[in-house]
């Protein structure tokens, strides 16, 4: 069976630089007790990891935890508070492969609270003549922060001060900011820079770390990426490669040296399979005639096993052993297989296999069902490619699910070494599915399968460790350079 392992990382993605605390979501009402009761009952019946965790932690611990959340849900009428309670309940089970989606959040009114007019009027301002700014820019023969930079909607001029640099607003359409006001200050902190930055509402955030990415990008951590718009300076090939990594949402290939090829794959989503296959197909001759291959999987949260199948021949050295899984058969879970059997992203053979599994599951409702006859599968290939000779795979804490399954397979190759940080840890309980609450307010995500690896080889909440740990002193932008040196 070609298993789907989707991962959902539930981050609160807020563009603090643009909105800061100005975005106020009206706390819509909900019957939290009813919503939580439905989530609890649906999860208990359908999640393939529920019984496993219950056995590991005990019925009493679960009952106490659930009773506490249930009592709090009785008095929680605000939807935001209800969601927090549900996630608090989720923590009893695992940190990934489960979640709740507010289906009506986009319909909630958004109010932008404008800053106090006196705060705007009194904010520090510097008068800078255009001729003076141009003179400073023209006098810069080597890269420095001095110049014109942009992070929409803000365009700023960065000029020197007694203590470092200041970013002065040149233009900020749609915001309360006026020309000449100080948007941020950069100052030295040892060998590095830090920033004080003022949000849209003129509230300050201090001691924010600053990263200079090459000569033409300044990253004020968690706030904004400012790109140089005045006279730019040439970046090194490795810096250009890192910038591609930051800004590319799809897979791509680079020949970064005569001995090393580089493939970046940000996601193994099934919708990316054709793009991944295309990149590999177009660059096949280069890959098989290059000594080293770097596969960059940083921040790849998973997707489908099918999506990485075309990579395996470049890594293969010996038969790959894969520990199987069992599926929990319920009417809700089995509907996912029926949908897959009709999904044209998969070939006809796979769709037929999904239908056969669906039929088998329906004959065993309420049970865990082994999909394949053998618990262990062994996949062999007829040929070991002479090149690449060494394969480095870059991983970090945001790699999970299908990406971790890919790593389990690649670690069995004599060619492969993993570089980076331990992965997220979300694979043992997998194959996500969803259900919508009777009210239509929430969508519950949970899992349909359980690996035979556990508990002996658990990955959930643990992750997979790299062969070469890249500690914090090696910045992300330098990872590829570090690997290039290590491969020599």
Q: The domain spanning residue 381 has which CATH number?
A: 3.90.226.10
* 342 belongs to a structural domain: no
pTM for the full model? 0.83
* The pLDDT of residue 112: 56
* The pLDDT of residue 60: 97
* 67 belongs to a structural domain: no
Q: Which domain holds residue 188?
A: 117-228
Q: Looking at the structure, do residues 137 and 269 belong to the same domain, yes or no?
A: no
* The pLDDT of residue 154: 96
Pick from 291, 351, 359: which is nearest to 327 by CA?
Answer: 359
Q: Looking at the structure, do residues 249 and 199 belong to the same domain, yes or no?
A: no
* The pLDDT of residue 386: 97
> How many angstroms separate the CA atoms of 27 and 49, rounded?
32
> How many angstroms separate the CA atoms of 159 and 146, rounded?
5
Q: What is the pLDDT of residues 373-404, one digit of tens each?
A: 889 999 999 999 999 999 999 999 999 999 99
When divided into structural domains, the chain yields a total of 2
* 111 belongs to a structural domain: no
- Residues with pLDDT less than 70, the chain: 1-27, 106-114
Q: Looking at the structure, do residues 288 and 189 belong to the same domain, yes or no?
A: no
Q: What is the pLDDT of residues 21-63, one digit of tens each?
A: 333 334 577 899 999 999 999 999 999 999 999 999 999 999 9
Q: Looking at the structure, do residues 254 and 316 belong to the same domain, yes or no?
A: yes
């Amino acid at each position: 069976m070609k298993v789907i392992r989707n991962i959902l990382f539930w981050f609160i993605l807020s563009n603090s630089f643009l909105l800061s605390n100005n975005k106020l979501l009206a706390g819509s009402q909900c019957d939290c007790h009813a919503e939580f009761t439905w989530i609890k009952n649906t999860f208990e019946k359908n999640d393939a990891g529920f019984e496993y965790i219950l056995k590991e932690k005990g019925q009493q611990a679960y009952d106490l935890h659930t009773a506490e959340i249930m009592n709090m849900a009785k008095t929680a009428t605000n939807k935001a508070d209800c969601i927090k309670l549900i996630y608090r309940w989720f923590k009893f089970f695992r940190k990934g492969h489960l979640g709740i989606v507010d289906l009506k959040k986009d319909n909630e009114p958004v109010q932008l609270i404008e800053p106090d007019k006196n705060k705007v009027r009194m904010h520090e301002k510097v008068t800078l003549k255009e001729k003076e700014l141009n003179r400073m820019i023209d006098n810069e023969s080597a890269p420095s922060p001095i110049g014109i930079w942009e992070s929409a909607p803000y365009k700023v001029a960065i000029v020197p001060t007694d203590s470092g640099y200041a970013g002065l607003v040149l233009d900020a359409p749609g915001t309360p900011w006026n020309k000449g006001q100080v948007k941020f200050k950069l100052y030295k902190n040892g060998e590095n820079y830090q920033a004080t930055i003022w949000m849209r509402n003129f509230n300050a955030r201090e001691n924010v770390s600053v990263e200079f990415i090459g000569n033409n990008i300044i990253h004020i951590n968690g706030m904004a990426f400012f790109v140089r718009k005045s006279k730019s300076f040439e970046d090194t090939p490795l810096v250009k490669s890192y910038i591609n990594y930051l800004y590319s949402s799809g897979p791509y290939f680079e020949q970064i040296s005569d001995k090393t090829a580089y493939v970046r794959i940000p996601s193994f989503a099934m919708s990316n399979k054709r793009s991944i296959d295309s990149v590999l197909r177009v660059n096949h001759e280069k890959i098989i005639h290059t000594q080293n291959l770097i596969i960059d999987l940083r921040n790849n949260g998973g997707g489908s096993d099918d999506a990485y199948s075309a990579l395996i021949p470049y890594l293969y050295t010996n038969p790959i052993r894969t520990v199987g899984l069992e599926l929990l058969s319920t009417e809700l879970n089995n509907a996912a297989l029926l949908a897959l059997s009709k999904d044209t992203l998969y070939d006809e053979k796979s769709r037929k296999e999904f239908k056969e599994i669906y039929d088998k599951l329906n004959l065993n409702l309420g049970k865990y069902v082994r999909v394949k006859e053998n618990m262990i599968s062994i996949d062999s290939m007829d040929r070991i490619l002479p090149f690449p000779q060494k394969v480095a795979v870059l991983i970090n804490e945001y790699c999970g699910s299908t990406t971790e399954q890919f790593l389990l397979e690649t670690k069995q190759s004599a060619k492969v070494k993993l570089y980076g940080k331990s992965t997220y840890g979300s694979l043992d309980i997998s194959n996500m599915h969803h259900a919508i609450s009777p009210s239509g307010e929430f969508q519950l995500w949970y899992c349909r399968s359980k690996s035979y690896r556990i508990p002996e080889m658990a990955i959930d909440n643990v992750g997979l460790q790299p062969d070469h740990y890249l500690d914090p002193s090696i910045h992300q932008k330098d990872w590829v350079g570090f690997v290039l040196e290590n491969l020599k």
